[in-house]
Every structure is written in C-alpha cells, then in structure tokens.
C-alpha cells in the first residue's frame, strides 16, 4: 500500500498535520472538573450541610480533616464513617454541531476518622482516611470530541492524616494534620491513525496514560474563642506538587510507526501543583437552639498554570508538549445555620458561592466548570452513643457560553447539573 512506501520525512509531515488538524488539545486535558476545581466535597454530612462555614465548628471526628484544632471540642473517644454519593452530569453543545453528555455520572466517596482526647483537656489527637482531591469524567468512546479530548479521565488522591491539637490558653487552641497521600492519574483517548495512513479503514489507536506518586501535605489550624459563644477560626493548607510517573501505551500502530520512533509503550510523566488554601471562619451561638457561622476561603488555583507532558520517544505524536491552562485564584464564601430542635435532632443548612478557576479560553469538554451556588440541608439524629447525619446538596452551575478559546472546536455552550448525598455514622466511646 502506498502509505508504507512513503518517505520518512513525508510521513512525519503527515503525522504532524493530522494531529494539528484533529486538535491542538489532543490528549491534553488530564484535570477533571468538579465544583471546586480538583477538590472533592468535604467529608461528613454535618460538614457538608454547613458549607464553607464548617471551619468554625464541627463536633465529630471529621475535624481531623476540616480543622484539627476542633478535636479539643470532643469530650470522648469517637469514630466517624462518611460515605457519600456525587451525581454530576456534564453536557456540551459546540457551535460546529458536536454534542457530548457524560456517562457513569454517579461517583462514590468515603472516609473514616477517629478522635482521641488526651489525658488533659489541653491535648487531643486523631487520625483519618479521606479522598480530598480527584474526580472522573467519562464519555462514550466514540463521542464527537474523541480526537480532541479524553473520553475517560480519572484523578484520585487518597490521604492518611494523623492529627494533633493543643490548647495554648483558655481562648486559643492550635492544631495540625500531616497528609500522607497516594495519587493516581489515568487518561484514555482515541488517536486518528487513518488521518496519517490515508486509509479510512485504519482503526483508531487507543491511547492510555497512567501515572502515580506519593506526596506529603497537611493543614495548620487556629481557633480563637472570644468568649463561650463566639469563635474565630483560621486554617491553612500549603500547596504541594504531585509528579506522576508511569506508562503511555497506544494500540493499532501502522507498519511504518517504528521508523518514526513510535512504540506501543513508553514512559509517561507529568506534574500537577495543587493549590494552597486559606480559610477564615466565624461561629456564634445565638441561643441554646440557634447558631450561625460565616466563612471565606481563598484557593490559589493560579498554581495550575500549564502542564508539561513527557511520553519519551512518543512525543512525535503530539504537536506540543505544553498545555497552557492559566487557572486563576478564587474566592468562596458561605453562611450556615444550625437549629437544635431537641436533644435528639439537629437541623442545619447553608449556602456557598464558589468561583470557577478556569478561564474561558482554556475551557474544554473534560475540563469544564462555571461559577456555582450551592444549597445544602442536613439533619442529625442522636441515638445514645450513636449519631446519624444526613445531608443533601444541590449544586447550581451557571450555564457557560464559550466564545473565545485556544481550541476553536470547543466554542459553544457548557452545562452541568449535580447533587451530593452524604451520610455519616459516628460513635462516641463514653
């Protein structure tokens, strides 16, 4: 066949041309979108129903993750199990007629936490397992953008977090958690070999990127009790970088692929710098039954500026090894209220306003997000030493129309709908 007998330089030119035509974003959107950039919802139904204002007061073992200084509020050993379900659907309608809707939209999360008061009321410690970052975006394999963006994206971060808290004085307490994290990134995408071979019968190549890393992070926390009814809380999570190291594979290579240096398998490396997070909260007990909390949060998403891809000798498959992202720092603010109806029931609700870090010109089908308003409601039932918490959160994404983008094929309308269901079982060892 003529494609086998073409000169090497001609084949390289066709390869570059085909990739450029099929889209400069080919295989370059490894960051799945969620409500807060890359972050998962906070662990625990009570925390979720209080929104970003959870920083001031959380009265169970999830304080390990949310604000370790709050461990001093617990008067007994306790454990908490925090399963959750996220139902999130993404729809894209491009100006050129392409459409896409995600599948496998129900995602399950979970965590486990334990808290232990010290021998005095000045010290407490705890430990927890959580999934602080990571989501997945899945489309049909042959969706309209199959050559432009992955049909399967999975990012997972699992954290083991030992924590300590210390009361400096009657009004000031501090806490810290060390996050020992394992993270994995997976991408699956189609490659248009037929554009290179000039043979319509050539099957698509199946590209798979996979990388892992272990990293260390943490959180520092400060509580200042102005009096028994008023508290100011401050937490800080420093940024950390994950260097993903693994394999790249591509299938259905044409016969001339080895002459181009293309192989079925090569090394894969990339890196993501996760943001630093500042959170300030204020909580007040208005009465025996009512409490209120306010909070603001700054997330340094500008750390996600660009991604560098290293696939060793298979770099010839890509028109560029740098994907500009240019994410922006964001602010989140929220308000929450609690109503203690009785010794058995407590009800809570909150509203959060979350800015998207993704600018219009780097938006894509598997990296799509908009500003969000979140409404959350929760209920807690005390059953002796047991407590059951339930929460429901409605995520109202702004519909986003993209009129300017680095990839013209991404111009169009983007719409997302999502709900979060949280459950927490906790037990106090009195």
> Residue 257: how many CA atoms within 13 Å on its side-chain side?
17
Query: Residue 135: its pLDDT value, please?
Result: 78
64 near 177, Cβ under 8 Å?
A: yes
- Cα angle 1-27-323, degrees, rounded to a multiple of 5: 125
Question: Please, what are the averages of pLDDT over each run of 10 residues along the chain (430 residues)?
Answer: 35 36 34 60 88 77 94 94 94 96 92 93 95 91 93 94 97 97 95 88 94 97 95 96 96 88 92 95 94 94 89 81 88 94 93 94 90 95 94 95 94 96 92
Q: What distance in Å separates the CA atoms of residue 260 and residue 198, rounded to the nearest whole number?
A: 16
Q: Parallel, antiparallel, or unpaired for β 412-429 and 123-133?
A: unpaired
CA-based nearest residue to 109, from 394, 379, 425, 422: 422
231 near 56, Cβ under 8 Å?
A: yes
Tokens of 204: 């698509």
**334, β-bridge pairs:** 295, 352
Contacts of 92 (CB under 8 A, 6+ apart): 98, 99, 100, 101, 145, 365, 368, 412, 413, 414
Tell me phi and psi for residue 279, to 5 degrees: -140, 130
Tell me phi and psi for residue 315, to 5 degrees: -65, -20
How is the chain split into domains, by residue range?
A: 2-429
61 near 68, Cβ under 8 Å?
A: no
Query: Residue 27: its pLDDT value, please?
Result: 33
Q: What distance in Å separates the CA atoms of residue 75 and residue 268, rounded to the nearest whole number?
A: 49
Query: Residue 15: its pLDDT value, please?
Result: 40
358 near 369, Cβ under 8 Å?
A: yes
Query: Residue 351: its pLDDT value, please?
Result: 95
Which class does domain 2-429 fall in?
mainly beta
Query: Residue 407: its pLDDT value, please?
Result: 92
């Amino acid at each position: 066949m003529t494609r086998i007998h073409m000169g090497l330089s001609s084949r390289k030119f066709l390869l570059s041309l085909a990739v450029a035509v099929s889209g400069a974003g080919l295989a370059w959107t490894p960051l799945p979108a969620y409500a807060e950039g890359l972050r998962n919802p906070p662990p625990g139904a009570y925390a979720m129903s209080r929104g970003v204002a959870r920083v001031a007061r959380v009265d169970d073992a999830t304080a390990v993750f949310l604000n370790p200084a709050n461990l001093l509020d617990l008067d007994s050993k306790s454990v908490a199990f925090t399963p959750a379900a996220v139902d999130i659907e993404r729809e894209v309608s491009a100006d050129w007629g392409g459409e896409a809707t995600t599948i496998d939209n129900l995602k399950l999360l979970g965590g486990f936490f334990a808290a232990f008061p010290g021998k005095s009321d000045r010290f407490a410690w705890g430990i927890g397992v959580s999934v602080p970052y990571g989501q997945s975006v899945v489309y049909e394999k042959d969706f309209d953008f199959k050559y432009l963006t992955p049909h399967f994206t999975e990012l997972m971060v699992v954290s083991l977090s030992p924590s300590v808290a210390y009361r400096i004085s009657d009004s000031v307490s501090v806490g810290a958690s060390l996050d020992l994290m394992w993270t994995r990134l997976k991408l699956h995408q189609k490659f248009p070999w037929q554009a290179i071979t000039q043979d319509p019968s050539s099957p698509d190549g199946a590209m798979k990127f996979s990388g892992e890393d272990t990293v260390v992070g943490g959180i520092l926390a400060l509580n200042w009790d102005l009096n028994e009814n008023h508290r100011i809380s401050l937490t800080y999570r420093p940024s950390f970088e994950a260097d993903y190291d693994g394999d790249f594979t591509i299938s259905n290579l044409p016969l001339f692929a080895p002459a181009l240096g293309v192989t079925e398998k090569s090394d894969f490396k990339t890196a993501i710098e996760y943001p630093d997070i500042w959170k300030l909260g204020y909580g007040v007990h208005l009465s025996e039954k009512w409490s209120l909390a306010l909070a603001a949060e700054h997330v340094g998403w500008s750390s996600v500026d660009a991604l560098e891809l290293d696939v060793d000798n298979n770099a010839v498959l890509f028109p560029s090894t740098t994907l500009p992202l240019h994410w922006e720092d964001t602010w989140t603010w929220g308000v929450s209220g609690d109503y203690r109806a009785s010794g058995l029931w407590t009800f809570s609700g909150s509203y959060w306003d979350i800015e998207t870090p993704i600018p219009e010109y780097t938006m894509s089908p598997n990296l799509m997000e908009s500003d969000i308003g979140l409404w959350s409601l929760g209920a807690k039932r005390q059953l002796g030493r047991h407590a059951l918490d339930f929460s429901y959160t409605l995520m109202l994404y702004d519909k986003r129309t993209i009129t300017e983008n680095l990839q013209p094929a991404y111009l169009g309308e983007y719409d997302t709908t999502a709900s979060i269901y949280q459950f927490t079982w906790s037990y106090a060892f009195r």
